[in-house]
Amino acid sequence: MYYNESTIVYLNGSFIKATDAVANPYDQTLHYGYGAFEGIRAYDTQNGVRIFKAREHYDRLKFSCESVGIPYPYQTQELIDITYELLNRNGFKDAYIRPLVFCPPNMSLTKGKAAQLLIATWEWGAYLGEKLLRLHTSSFRRIPPQCFKVEAKVSGHYVNSIMATQEAKDKGFDEALLLDIDGFVAEGPGANFFVQSEDVLYTPQLGSILPGITRATVIEICQELGIEVVEKKLKLENVHGADSAFYCGTAAEVIGIESLDNIPFQLQWKDSLGAIIQKAYKNRVLEQEFRLQEVA
């Protein structure tokens, strides 16, 4: 469950009990998927509770709303302050935070008349585990930029993600990998993709993917550690049987991939660049120092 009797959410200007939070069945978002949301993490760091990349997430929420014409009468700093207050009122330290901007009743296909804002949060410990994913290439393609604002995190977009993930699970895999409309590798249903070949990391260029905040952090970490990253169009044939691969995202953090379409990646996860980045990412979210020598 995401909440209990004592959980507090923030809804339209007030901190209220989750059990008292209601939406209108005629809300435009409920019918058409016309809303925008974020997925954010807070970590119990040595410096206290810290929302990781809070500014980047709330700036993206604004961008997402503006991309599709949803009114956005909020300031990033105001929302960050509210979120810290919400964590505090719930007594959460390691948590997932879900802001959702949704539109009031309107059954017509016109832009949102006003915005409503929910911020919900639930406890969620840092994962960054040893689990490795078995992926399959989805029969569903990512929605092309000609058809949607793919760089916006808009609710309706996630029907595509749900179909891809469920298809993967129905076939006995852990997760899907989606191609773009032209057949190049795009991303996971809720995470960005990196593949290692020799000592270089490759990741799909922007265009048909959500520009992940974790993806940007991974690229930043690589620059600091002197790991070469190339953003380009990737063919499936260059991924099958490559040295290693991983997914990254706020929820997934950095998670290794064992195989794609039952074709294993060559390196043991512990010997891959992804394993180094996983440790560096963990240190970063927990605000700890990271030295490459520690990895050995």
249 contacts ligand PMP (rule: CB under 6 A):
yes
- In the region spanning residues 121 to 180, those forming contacts with ligand PMP, defined by CB under 6 A, are 153, 161
CA–CA separation, 137 and 116 (whole Å): 37
256 contacts ligand PMP (rule: CB under 6 A):
no
What is the enclosing helix (H) or strand (E) of 90? helix 76-90
Write down how long the chain is: 296
- In the region spanning residues 84 to 123, those forming contacts with ligand PMP, defined by CB under 6 A, are none
Radius of gyration (Cα) for the chain, nearest Å? Answer: 20
Q: How far is the CB of 282 from ligand PMP (least distance, A)?
A: 15
- In the region spanning residues 45 to 84, those forming contacts with ligand PMP, defined by CB under 6 A, are none
One residue of 191, 195, 277, 280 binding ligand PMP per CB under 6 A: 191
Under a CB-based contact definition with an 8 Å cutoff, are residues 70 and 103 in contact?
A: yes
One residue of 90, 106, 192, 278 binding ligand PMP per CB under 6 A: 192
One residue of 17, 39, 93, 264 binding ligand PMP per CB under 6 A: 39
255 contacts ligand PMP (rule: CB under 6 A):
no
Q: How far is the CB of 250 from ligand PMP (least distance, A)?
A: 3
187 contacts ligand PMP (rule: CB under 6 A):
yes
CA–CA separation, 253 and 156 (whole Å): 23
Size of the site for ligand PMP (CB under 6 A): 14
CA–CA separation, 239 and 257 (whole Å): 11
**Which 8-state DSSP code applies to residue 27?**
B
**Which 8-state DSSP code applies to residue 227?**
-
Q: With CB under 6 A as the contact rule, which of the stretches 16-24, 28-36, 188-196, 272-280 interacts with ligand PMP?
A: 188-196
Q: How many CA atoms lie within 13 A of 111 on its CB side?
A: 8
Q: With CB under 6 A as the contact rule, which of the stretches 71-79, 117-125, 190-198, 263-271 interacts with ligand PMP?
A: 190-198
Among 144, 155, 146, 189, CA closest to 64: 155
CA–CA separation, 255 and 241 (whole Å): 18
Catalytic residue, candidates 62, 93, 111, 153: 153
For this structure, is 62 an active site residue?
no
What is the enclosing helix (H) or strand (E) of 155? none
Active-site positions read 153
| Binding positions for ligand PMP, rule: CB under 6 A | 39, 153, 161, 187, 190-192, 210, 212-215, 249-250
